[in-house]
Structure formats: C-alpha cells, structure tokens
C-alpha cells in the first residue's frame, strides 16, 4: 500500500468532495445498496462515503462494528442512552450542533441547559422532543 495506493485514494476523495447532492445519493446507493436517510446533508454523506472507501481500500472494521454502522446507515438503530461525558451531535440547516452531557443537564456553546427539549427548541424554533431530536432516550 505505497504511494500509488494513496494517490488513487486521494484522487477518489477529490471526486467525492466535488459531488453535488444527486451525485452523493447515487454513490451512497452504490456503496450501501439503499438510499441514505432523508435528513443527511451532502457534506455528511461525503464524509461517510470517504470513510467507506478508506475501509474498503485500507482494511475494514470488526464484523460487530460493521453491523452497527449498517444499522445506523439504514436508520434502524435503537436510540442510544446519554450519559455524563457523552457528546450529542446534530446537524440542522447546515450547522452542526454539539451538546455535552453533564451531571444534571447539558452544555452547548458554553451555555448550561437543563433539558434537551429546550435545546432542540432553541435550535429549531419549534417544539421538539429533545431526546428524539438528538436520537437518545
């Protein structure tokens, strides 16, 4: 896996980076055999497609990890539990939000929050179930 291999990967990465949404959707179907979940942004799809290509070319993950990632890619995963020390990440309208779970609440952008629903309302301007918005129980 010398320089030629890396050059080929770099060239493929550049092609992926230039894809529009339609190109991302087509490549996603080719890579995973189904369309992506509807809420994924092109930028996120590109990251996953590059990651998938790296795994195929440089070595894959364990069978259990692969199975879990396929569940995530298909949208068929049970909600995770948020424990102190966890980070919740959600993309909304082109911006990525990161929330840190702490004892007794959450921290986002340096501000403390008591509930995920309040954070979801702040982000979207609408009433959401915070745990559902962030995909946790």
CA distance 87 to 101: 6
pLDDT over 70 percentage in the chain: 89
CA 124 to chain centre: 18
Q: Mean pLDDT over residues 108-119, rounded? A: 94
Q: Mean pLDDT over residues 106-134, rounded? A: 93
Place of tokens 């590109």: 46
pLDDT in tens, 34-92: 999 888 899 999 999 998 888 888 877 788 887 877 777 777 766 567 889 989 999 99
């Amino acid at each position: 896996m010398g320089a030629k291999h890396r050059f080929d990967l770099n060239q493929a990465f550049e092609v992926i980076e230039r894809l529009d949404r339609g190109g991302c959707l087509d490549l996603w179907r080719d890579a995973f055999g189904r369309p992506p979940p509807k809420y994924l942004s092109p930028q996120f799809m590109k990251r996953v497609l590059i990651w998938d290509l790296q795994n195929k070319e440089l070595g894959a993950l364990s069978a259990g990890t692969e199975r879990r990632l396929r569940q995530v890619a298909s949208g068929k995963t049970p909600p995770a539990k948020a424990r102190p020390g966890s980070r919740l990440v959600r993309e909304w309208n082109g911006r990525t939000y990161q929330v840190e779970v702490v004892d007794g609440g959450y921290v986002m952008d340096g501000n403390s929050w008591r509930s995920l629903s309040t954070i979801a309302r702040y982000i979207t301007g609408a009433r959401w179930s915070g745990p559902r918005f962030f995909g946790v129980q």
